[in-house]
Chains A and B, each alone.
Chain A
Amino acid sequence: DSGVTQTPKHLITATGQRVTLRCSPRSGDLSVYWYQQSLDQGLQFLIQYYNGEERAKGNILERFSAQQFPDLHSELNLSSLELGDSALYFCASSTGLAADTQYFGPGTRLTVL
């Protein structure tokens, strides 16, 4: 158990819908990262937050957004869902910015029908 929690574990929804994935980092960790794992694209970085502020963006679609709250949990919002958004979404956390190992949550499996 990495100490990073993600809810829900599984999510099944329809095209055009909007969903929210939640992540709670390890106790004391200030950085949260979101990754997408799909068969086509492999593991890709989406976005990073550090202590409530957006720090870096990767290959995140405009239909996707995220935020980190004062209690440091983070949410990833996916809207206007398409079939191709079906993937495993991971959250990872680390203590800070510098030289820290990222610990991954168990992931949320999103299926768009």
Chain B
Amino acid sequence: AQTVTQSQPEMSVQEAETVTLSCTYDTSESDYYLFWYKQPPSRQMILVIRQEAYKQQNATENRFSVNFQKAAKSFSLKISDSQLGDAAMYFCAYRSGDYGGSQGNLIFGKGTKLSVKP
């Protein structure tokens, strides 16, 4: 079974600085997708970024980028120029790319709580 591990329960960053959140996963599959979701105090789950395992190029969305290391099964999220609105729980998630018989659901890590200091 696939697992997702986020080893940093809490992180803190100064406004305008850069922070990196860590995520590792375990799978025997070769085709899969990885995601970072943000959950602010409102509790809404917001997609931050998505990475296809078959793509070597790291995904980027504005100030958010990932460092995807497939061999190491690592998928970290870098937030540049941190803003107060970035304060939230961040969840790393895995989804199988095989729809032959497996599920299309997301498998989540336990999350990292990010605080942004003004």
Q: Which residues of B contact A109 (CB under 8 A)?
A: 43
A102 contacts which of B42, B97, B106 (Cβ < 8 Å)? Answer: B106
Count of chain A to chain B residue pairs whose CB atoms are closer than 8 Å in the complex: 58
Question: Is chain B's interface secondary structure helix, strand, loop, or mixed overall?
Answer: loop
Counting CB contacts under 8 A, is B103 at the interface?
Answer: yes
> In chain B, what residue has the closest Cβ to A106?
B44
Contacts of B107 in A (CB 8 A): 45
Sorting the interface of chain A by its residue count into under 10, 10 to 19, 20 to 34 or 35 or more gives 20 to 34
A→B interface (CB under 8 Å): 2, 31, 33, 35, 42-45, 48, 55-56, 58, 88, 90, 92, 94, 97-104, 106-107, 109
- Residues of B near A101 (CB, < 8 A) are 35, 47, 50
13 A-B residue pairs with CB within 8 Å: A2-B44, A35-B105, A42-B108, A42-B109, A43-B108, A55-B104, A56-B103, A94-B104, A101-B47, A104-B37, A104-B46, A107-B43, A109-B43
Chain B residues 98 to 118 lying within 8 A of chain A, measured CB to CB, are 99, 103-111
